[in-house]
C-alpha cells in the first residue's frame, strides 16, 4: 500500500503499545465483541467521534455538500475538512474501509 502525506502522522505513536492496540482490534471476532471492547476502552463521545468521521467520509465520497454533511451528522466544518484532507492526501483507508463495509464481497 502506498503511503500518503498523512501516513507519517501515525509514525509518531508507532511502537509496542500501538502494535498491541491494533492487534487487539484485529483480534475482535464479531460486532458484539467490538461493541464491548470499545465500550470498555473509550468514552461514548470518543466512539461517536470515530463513527461520525467515517460517516462524514461516506458522505464526502458520495459528493454530499458540507452543509448537508453538517446537518445530517452534526460534524463541524473543521471535522469535515479534516476528513476530506485525509481522504485526498492520506493513506486511502477511508475509501478502502468504506468499500469493504458497504460491499462486504470486496476484500
96 in any annotated domain = yes
- Which ranges of the chain would DSSP assign to H, the alpha helix? 8-11, 16-27, 31-41, 44-61, 66-73, 77-89, 93-102
Q: Is residue 93 part of a domain?
A: yes
Number of folded domains that form the chain: 1
- Is position 38 within any domain? yes
Domain presence at residue 107: no
Under a CB-based contact definition with an 8 Å cutoff, are residues 86 and 1 in contact? no
Per residue in 5-47, pLDDT (tens digit) is 445 677 888 899 999 999 999 999 999 999 999 999 999 999 9
Residues of the domain holding 57: 5-102
Q: Give the DSSP letter string of 9-40.
A: HHHTT-SHHHHHHHHHHHH--SHHHHHHHHHH
CA angle, 5 then 6 then 10, to 5°: 130
Q: In CATH, what number is assigned to the domain containing residue 18?
A: 1.10.1270.10
The pTM for the full model equals: 0.84
Q: What percent of the chain has pLDDT over 70?
A: 91
Amino acid at each position: 500500500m502506498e503511503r500518503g502525506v498523512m501516513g507519517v502522522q501515525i509514525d509518531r505513536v508507532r511502537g509496542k503499545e500501538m502494535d498491541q492496540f491494533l492487534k487487539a482490534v484485529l483480534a475482535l471476532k464479531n460486532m458484539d465483541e467490538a461493541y464491548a471492547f470499545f465500550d470498555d476502552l473509550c468514552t461514548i463521545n470518543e466512539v461517536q467521534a470515530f463513527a461520525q468521521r467515517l460517516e462524514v467520509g461516506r458522505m464526502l465520497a458520495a459528493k454530499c455538500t458540507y452543509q448537508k454533511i453538517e446537518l445530517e451528522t452534526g460534524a463541524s466544518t473543521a471535522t469535515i475538512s479534516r476528513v476530506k484532507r485525509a481522504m485526498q492526501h492520506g493513506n486511502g483507508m477511508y475509501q478502502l474501509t468504506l468499500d469493504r463495509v458497504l460491499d462486504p464481497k470486496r476484500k
